[in-house]
Structure 1
Amino acid sequence: MILAPSLTGTPMRLPEGTWAMLVVAVDVVNHTDPDREDDIALFAGAWVAEQPSAELCEGDLVVVLTAPEDESPDSDVVDVELLLAHHHRWRRVGFWASLDVRWPWTTASTVAAIIELHTDAAEADTFPSGTTSPSPSGLRDYAGNGDLVDLLAAGLLHPGDEFRWNRPALDICHTARIEPDGRLRLEDGRIYRTPSGATTALGGNHQNGWVTWQRTSDGVSLSDLRATLRTRLSLPTDVSRKK
């Protein structure tokens, strides 16, 4: 279910017999102008019937919609709660009271930040064999996190680089190109900030875009390029040169 931007009616309550909405993908274009509202490139979710064990859902983020206590069940406002499966528990990581039908826009930036931060934490130990992680004191305490714009700045990506996502089972091959601002442009002109946002928009729910997108010229995946960057960041910066 695509909540935004192609809105066909924002859900304001959980359907009967459901526990929450699983956030499948969210992609937000942040603007530096404080007076300009962030744009949502994609906000997609799927209904979950029963509450699963958090132990089996590490990293999953869900939205719970409930009627405010002082409102009737059929009112046009909603309380929005975010729950994250983390360390074997469903933990509340966000709450907004009495939002209107634009609640996906109101919550999107927070949802995107939570997913990005948790993904960085989960990937912190994922480095090529024989290397070690930077061991930062916080999720954002080391320079560069391997976003597309970081790969551009490091010279590992270049504007115009073409990437392919081969889906042999469907006999489909998607292509996309890197934009100068570090976003990914699909063949149909749609632009996404994250590789996984692009794969989800193409119908690949739960696909890890960092792994699936491979550079046409050499077959190197975005995940490989990110690992290369993080390996560079883990090296000491004051190594003396041998003459």
Structure 2
Amino acid sequence: MDEFEPPAGAGAGDVMMSSDEKRSGIPNDIVLAPADHPIPVRCPEDFQAILLTEIDIVDDFDLDRDGDVLHMTGRWLTTLPTPDERHDGDLVVVLHEPTTPPASCDAARHVDIEMRLVNGNRWQQVGIWTGVNSDWPYLIAPTAAAIMGLHTDILELEDPPRRVRSASSERDAEFLSATCGEH
């Protein structure tokens, strides 16, 4: 991940740009919902994923409103975080070209989404959505909020449960070698 330190004397109101932002012209931070810009269905060139940084959904007894997305933000990543203790709980979204777009829709307006969580020093796939349009943040937000909340709850336990490992790491190797343009 491209990390940067603000220079000495930088004030709270100063806008800082990472080297990725300077090089690409694309701000690292992105508001996914509510958005006043088109929602991406592909990663910009030189970026691989979006690190989800904040999700706020309606948690209400009114079933018509439960799960409504109030706010969702992320940060573009040029590289995926190393799945280690420092990044435990990081939740990323990778936007892939759709493998099977809806029959009546333009493939350029649809996306396959893969969501992964750093959990116990490895990537764990927690969701796949195929052939969705630019409303994808609203589709995945309830799942992402639940995963982030549960992961935080587990980390706050005095005696957290032991992690369960899968027998196959084939999908993890495939995920780590993936880029937005490849599938």
Range into which the TM-score falls when normalised by the shorter chain: 0.5 to 0.7
Partner residue of 1:105? 138
Q: Give the counterpart letter for 1:39 in structure 2.
A: D
Q: Among the aligned pairs, what percent are the same residue? A: 38
With normalisation by structure 2, the TM-score equals 0.63
Aligned ranges for residues 83-98 of structure 1 at < 5 Å?
83-98=116-131
Q: Which runs of 5+ in 1 are unaligned?
A: 126-132, 137-243
**Superposed CA offset, 1:81-128 (max 9, x none):** 110001110110111111111110111110000000000011112xxx
Counterpart in the other structure of 1:59:
89
Structure 2 distance, partners of 1:24, 1:113, is 14
The CA distance in 2 between the partners of 1:120 and 1:38, in whole Å, is 19
**Superposition pairs for residues 211-230 of structure 1, below 5 Å?**
none
Q: CA deviation at 1:10?
A: 0.3
Task: Please tell me whether residue 46 in structure 1 is matched to residue 46 in structure 2.
Answer: no
Structure 2 gap segments, 5+ residues each: 1-29, 162-183
Shift of 1:37: 6.0
| SS at structure 2 position matched to 1:119 | helix
Distance 1:23 1:85, change over 3 A: same
Flag the structure with larger Rg.
Answer: 1
Q: Residue 67 of structure 1 contacts residue 73 of structure 1 at CA under 8 Å; is this kept in 2?
A: no
Runs of 4+ in 1 over 4 A off after TM superposition: 71-74
AA partner of residue 97 (structure 1): T
Change in Cα spacing, 1:44 to 1:58, as seen in structure 2 (3 Å) is same
Partner residue in 1 for 2:12: none
TM-score, normalised to structure 1, is 0.49
For the 8 Å contact 1:2–1:45, the answer to whether it is kept is yes
Change (3 A) 1:38 1:90: same
Residue 25 of structure 1, CA deviation: 0.3
Structure with more relative contact order (C-alpha pairs < 8 Å, separation 6 or more): 2
* Superposition deviation, residue 41 in structure 1: 1.7
Residue aligned with 2:37, SS: coil
Question: What are the within-5 Å matches in structure 2 for residues 67-216 of structure 1?
Answer: 67-71=97-101, 75-125=108-158
